Chains A and B, each alone.
Chain A
Amino acid sequence: MTPVRALFAIGGAIAIAGLVACAATIYTYLSEPYALSSTSGLMVFYESPLVNSSDPGQLVQYAPFVFGAGPVVLVAGLATVLAAVALSAALWTGRASR
């Protein structure tokens, strides 16, 4: 495996890990709402149909959403892939590489 291909693989793996982290953060947030409370100060919503499609009319409360490190990891993976593309463009000679 050439170094550029290794860079592609590493960047792709980091980007996929970031996507998985983002999806896990969103799913955990939506699937763990707070019960209704008049003293919590949180906004009231219908429970998300993405995680509870059986009872979509149930009222719950959600705290403001906070992203973890998922977007940073995703952007780092994308940046690595773009660096690999730029390196491939700079090193391209018009001949098929083995």
Chain B
Amino acid sequence: MSDDIRRTLFEHEEPPVTASTAPAPPVPIAEPDPVRQVDAEPEPDAIEEPPAGRGRNPWLIVLWVLGFVLLAVGMWGLVQAAERAADPTYVMVEGYGSEQYRAPGVEDFYVVPIILASLAPWLVALGIGSIIAAATVHAVHWSRR
């Protein structure tokens, strides 16, 4: 084959690629596929079951809340009982401002102060006991970890 014919046939042909001049093929960067990630089954080593008893303990929350509520109500009752015992003569009339007073009824004078004085110390004791119990349960669970 003459050189003219060869040039006509192969003028657009790329020069032969050798191993030394060949550029490295681009490394495909793997894009994270959310669907594939969700559907992909995790490896057995990655599975980590939450140990029993490590979540939020609802009874412990109830115990904390009850403790503080009982303590607050008991303290309020103690204060109210002391105020009523200090000045049982007149009772402020609700809804008429702080200047309006009326003569106390038997409920104001005898019943309510006795109820408050009877129950408030017990409520304070129960509240403190609940808080101590909740702290104790926390301590026991902490020592088991």
Contacts and interface: CB of A to CB of B under 8 A. Distances in A.
Contacts of A85: 59, 62-63, 66, 130
B52 A89 contact: no
Interface residues of B, number: 34
B109 A43 contact: yes
A85 B129 CA distance: 12
Given A82-B133, A89-B134, A94 B55 contact: yes
A74 B119 contact: yes
A40 B55 CA distance: 65
Nearest to B107: A48
Interface of A: 22, 26, 29-30, 33, 43, 45-46, 48-50, 62, 64-67, 71, 74-75, 78-79, 82, 85-86, 88-90, 92-95
Interface of B: 50, 52-55, 57-60, 62-63, 66, 70, 103-107, 109-111, 114-115, 118-119, 122-123, 126, 129-130, 133-134, 137, 140
28 contacts: A26-B115, A30-B106, A45-B104, A45-B105, A46-B106, A48-B107, A62-B110, A64-B110, A65-B106, A67-B115, A75-B122, A75-B123, A75-B126, A78-B70, A78-B126, A79-B126, A79-B129, A82-B126, A85-B59, A86-B133, A88-B59, A89-B59, A89-B133, A89-B134, A92-B58, A92-B59, A93-B52, A95-B52
